[in-house]
Amino acid sequence: MKHIYLNLKRFDVPVELGGVNRLAQVSDWAKTIVTGTQEALKGYDRDKVEFAMFFPEAHLLNAVAAKSDKSPIQVGCQGVFRADTAVGGNFGAFTTGRPAAAAKALGCEYVLIGHCEERNDKRGILEEGGVVGSAAAQAVNRLLNAEVKQAQARGLKVLYCIGERSEEQETWQQVLGSQLSVGLEGVDKAGVAIAYEPVWSIGPGKTPADKPYITKVAAFVKEQTGGMDVAYGGGLKTDNAEMLASIPEIDGGLIALTRFSGEIGFYPQEYLDIIRLYLGE
């Protein structure tokens, strides 16, 4: 099974407010993305490839409502809180948090957990409190493990992200091994796919991870997890789609921006072009 994931981050913010949204008014943004892609995606065999899109929370209802009959798009959210509502228990005291129950009620089927930006945020908070180094990293892994468990308890599928930073490259096996062993402890691995993000190589001016490096890491992840599916989380795009497709150990990719120069941003037609390149059609 191949997995094509789309992380729409905060691509809904208009250009005049510092964002990259030239696609549609904010109120119509999610609908534009879903309606602009789902008919083309119906042409792919669902037994061979799945499509999940992770929207900011404000757009989840619009995304779900825009799905047509037999739409292949699985709507996902960009994280859940480490605790949840419960009958006879906490009924919603999660200000700013997104419990898995809320994600389920909004129509989500998937959730993105452990993205490098989420890891950085959690680590930064811990460091402000004096928890640093490996202690902070392990604490983040434990928090993410709680999130995965809450998501699974509500029947959500999970894309769990792992990755090493530049200062962790020499110990990448230890770093990724801990992210896997701690983050996946006690979870149903059948409901989880792994996204590998080489954090050290992502961003302007950085050298992208090459095929041999991605291959060795993906093989390591499969070995450590008993063969779980591994998607490339460092950005599936036009420039690397064919290269990633040639790596047997890689089972898909995570798309974000589709255009990186000029009027940068996410564009549905370019998203479909990337998928065709990756799947060789």
For residue 131, count CB atoms less than 10 angstroms from its CB and return exposed for 0-12, middle for 13-18, buried for 19 or more.
Answer: middle
The H-or-E segment that residue 157 falls in is strand 157-162
Tell me, what CATH number does 147's domain have?
Answer: 3.20.20.70
Q: Residue 183 is part of which domain span?
A: 2-279
Two tokens, residue 278: 């990756």
Q: What is the pTM of this model?
A: 0.98
Two tokens, residue 27: 């109120």
Q: Which residues of 87-116 are buried (b: 16+ CB within 10 A; e: fewer)?
A: eeeeeeebeeebbbbbbbebebbbbbbbbb
Q: How many domains does the structure of the chain reveal? A: 1
pLDDT in tens, 80-135: 999 999 999 999 999 999 999 999 999 999 999 999 999 999 999 999 999 999 99
Share in percent of the chain as helix, strand, coil (round to 5): 45, 15, 40
Known catalytic residues are 115, 197
- Whether residue 64 is predicted with pLDDT greater than 90 in this model: the reply is yes
Name the 3-class secondary structure at 52: strand
Per-residue pLDDT band at 281 (split at 50, 70, 90): confident
Name the 3-class secondary structure at 145: helix
- Whether residue 234 is predicted with pLDDT greater than 90 in this model: the reply is yes
